[in-house]
């Protein structure tokens, strides 16, 4: 029928094109809007997808000079980096312990770890918010630095666990026979071999912290302490008016690099995911 006339390949391309348009057109628009002149933008009759008036970098200047966006960026990066460090320190040894040393307990605890990840921030944010106040961390990025590992650590431990299990154990045992203590074998053999997995969890930890919204919203109200996800959606307003172009600019500046990195690490992520999820 249709297939025979157009060929399977064409149908494929058609389907893919539809999905690509669906996924990407908001970003296409965000890109255009970044440089749109306000007079052009706020005319409903104007074609929104082209420049009816020449493009301008005014919105970018506004974004970087007159809003707290640079502060949002810096805060996001600081939170991301520190949370990554904390996560690695906690999750890498834990993953090894569960993958290699804990026997059948390891399996069960690993599943338990994963279940903890399934407890959503939206369940805990109210008591968390109280905890943050009690610890005196309200309105500081420290609140996020302390709390975010509660979801990055379980996820990364589980992911790394699956990854480490896929590394054959005879290389570590060889190191034991070759004259190293278990600790020495971990450091000199397992750790180098696990680097790809560690790299993957660095990437995903960073992006997980960037995505987080409700904790950031609940913990921090001071403007210059906000991160991108909360800052862009709540701060780029004057009164009732959104700085639309700047908001779009703010968004696309963040979205594109992250998507590029996701694309690069996707295969690794899938490998870890299927190792952990389907094979339990």
Q: Which residues ranging from 239 to 258 are in contact with other proteins (CB under 8 A)?
A: 242, 244, 247-248, 250-251, 254-255, 258
Q: Which residues have a Cβ under 8 Å from the Cβ of 201 and sit 6 or more positions away?
A: 87, 88, 91, 156, 159, 160
Q: Which of 6, 10, 42, 66 binds other proteins (CB under 8 A)?
A: 42
Main-chain phi, psi angles of 57, to 5 degrees: -100, 10
Interface of this chain with other proteins, residues 181 to 220, rule: CB under 8 A: 181-184, 186-189, 192-193, 207, 210-211, 213-214, 217-218
Interface of this chain with other proteins, residues 49 to 78, rule: CB under 8 A: 49
Interface of this chain with other proteins, residues 76 to 115, rule: CB under 8 A: 89-91, 93-94, 96-98, 101-102, 109, 111, 113, 115
Backbone region of residue 37 per phi and psi (left: phi > 0; alpha: psi in -120 to 50; beta: other values): beta
C-beta of 15 vs 222, nearer to other proteins: 15
Interface of this chain with other proteins, residues 119 to 138, rule: CB under 8 A: 119-120, 122-131
Interface of this chain with other proteins, residues 139 to 158, rule: CB under 8 A: 146-147, 149-150, 153-154, 157
Distances (CA, A) of 217 to 157, 212, 222, 264: 26, 9, 10, 30
Q: Which residues have a Cβ under 8 Å from the Cβ of 190 and sit 6 or more positions away?
A: 96, 100, 164, 167, 172
Q: What six digits make up the tokens of 51?
A: 């420049």
C-beta of 57 vs 234, nearer to other proteins: 234
Q: Which span sits near other proteins by CB under 8 A: 57-65, 66-74, 136-144, 262-270? A: 262-270
Instruction: Find out whether 151 and 208 touch, Cβ atoms under 8 Å.
Output: yes
């Amino acid at each position: 029928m249709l297939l025979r006339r157009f060929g399977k390949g064409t149908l494929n391309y058609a389907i893919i094109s539809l999905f690509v348009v669906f996924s990407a057109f908001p970003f296409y628009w965000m890109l255009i809007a970044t440089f749109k002149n306000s007079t052009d933008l706020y005319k409903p009759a104007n074609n929104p997808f082209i420049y009816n008036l020449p493009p301008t970098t005014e919105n970018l200047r506004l974004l970087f000079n007159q809003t707290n966006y640079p502060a949002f960026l810096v805060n996001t990066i600081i939170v991301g980096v520190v949370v990554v460090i904390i996560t690695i320190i906690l999750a890498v040894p834990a993953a090894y312990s569960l993958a290699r040393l804990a026997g059948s307990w390891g399996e069960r605890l690993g599943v338990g770890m994963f279940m903890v990840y399934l407890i959503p921030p939206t369940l805990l944010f109210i008591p968390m918010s109280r905890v943050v106040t009690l610890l005196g961390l309200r309105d500081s990025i420290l609140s996020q630095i302390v709390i975010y590992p509660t979801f990055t650590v379980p996820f990364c431990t589980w992911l790394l666990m699956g990854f480490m299990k896929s590394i054959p154990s005879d290389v570590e045992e060889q190191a034991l026979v070759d004259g190293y203590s278990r600790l020495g074998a971990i450091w000199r053999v397992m750790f180098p071999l696990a680097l790809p997995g560690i790299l993957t969890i660095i990437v995903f930890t960073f992006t997980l912290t960037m995505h987080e919204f409700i904790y950031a919203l609940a913990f921090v109200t001071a403007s210059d302490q906000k991160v991108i996800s909360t800052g862009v959606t709540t701060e780029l307003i004057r009164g009732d008016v959104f700085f639309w172009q700047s908001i779009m600019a703010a968004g696309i500046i963040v979205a594109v690099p992250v998507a590029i990195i996701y694309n690069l690490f996707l295969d690794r992520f899938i490998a870890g995911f299927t190792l952990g999820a389907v094979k339990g």
